[in-house]
Amino acid sequence: MALETTVSDSPLVTYSRMIRLSHSIFAMPFALAAAVLAAREVTITWQQVVLIVLCMVLARSTAMGFNRIVDRDIDAKNPRTASRELPSGQISLTSAWVFTLGSAALFVLCTAGLHPLALMLSPVAVAIVWGYSLTKRFTALCHLVLGVALALAPLGVWIGLTGTVTAIPVVLSLAVGTWVAGFDILYSCQDEAFDAEHGPHSIPSALGLRGAMVVSAVLHVTTVGLLLALPSFTALGPAYLVGVALIGVVLLYEHWIVRPDDLSRIDKAFFDLNGYVSLLFFVFVAAGTYWS
């Protein structure tokens, strides 16, 4: 008679799953694209690139850790999220707090290696990335707050490398913010009924699925418009415009496959297609920069 054994995940795998480490692909390429553009104005070292990557991972880690902590009771009630690490007991509340606060402290420490202004603004960044989880308690505009949180990525990189704020990172950050808010609204559509009954607030629970998808589409049209405006502030070759066109096609397809009467492909829209958007942007910004 064969004995069945259960092999539990290592702590590293469990914590990586809690913060959805693989989702770092959404904002990371935009941050690196900002570095590519900033390299036109300042000399960038490989040590700075490493610090940028660490800052991105740590900022996202503390944001997701805080989100999981404050949402643990709501997650426990929702069948879709009840198996998450905190409500299921895979990670204790104390351990989650240690991880979250430790990630925040390391993030601040890494910003010190970039620029004094980045260090000065780092607590503000932590407050913003934590704030999204709290705004869900009182406003359906929480998706826009999440957009602002991820929009800090290119702006923070620019500040960390140049110590300045110009139109280039502002336009890029606005594009990231509208893109993130748009796809977060689509992702929230699967919890429309639960949110309407139990909270938290969301655009789908406030406007219904059809209304939420219209708002998401408007945000994504705005994203493409902002990306098209970027060459007005920094020279980018024809390859960049090809990239923006491809991004527009991917976003159009995303809205085509997610419909009010069919949410079955929402994971493909959220994970796969948005990953393509981010990677396409980085590749074509680099192409447009170096082959203009």
What pLDDT is stored for residue 1 in this prediction?
37
| Coil vs helix vs strand at 261 | coil
Q: Is residue 129 part of a domain?
A: yes
Q: Is residue 268 part of a domain?
A: yes
261: containing domain: 24-290
The residue whose two tokens read 């920069």 is: 289
Q: Is residue 203 part of a domain?
A: yes
Q: Hey, which of 18-27, 78-87, 223-232, 280-289 has the most confident mean pLDDT?
A: 223-232
Which value, to the nearest 10 degrees, does the dihedral of the CA atoms of residues 210, 211, 217, 219 take?
-160
pLDDT category of residue 21 using cuts at 50, 70 and 90: low
Q: Is residue 15 part of a domain?
A: no
- How many structural domains is the chain composed of? 1
Average pLDDT over every residue of 220-243: 95
Q: Is residue 220 part of a domain?
A: yes
The CATH number of the domain where 184 resides is what? 1.10.357.140
pLDDT, one tens digit per residue, over 73-93 is 888 888 888 888 888 888 899
Average pLDDT over every residue of 186-191: 92
Q: Is residue 17 part of a domain?
A: no
pLDDT, one tens digit per residue, over 194-211 is 888 887 899 999 999 999
List the end-to-end C-alpha distance of the chain, in Å, as a whole number: 68
Q: Is residue 235 part of a domain?
A: yes
d(CA 53, CA 40): 19
Q: Using DSSP, how many helices (H) and how many strands (E) does the chain show? A: 13, 0
Global model pTM greater than 0.85: yes
- Least confident piece of the model among 126-140, 189-203, 240-254: 189-203
DSSP 8-state secondary structure symbol assigned to residue 246:
H
Q: Is residue 19 part of a domain?
A: no
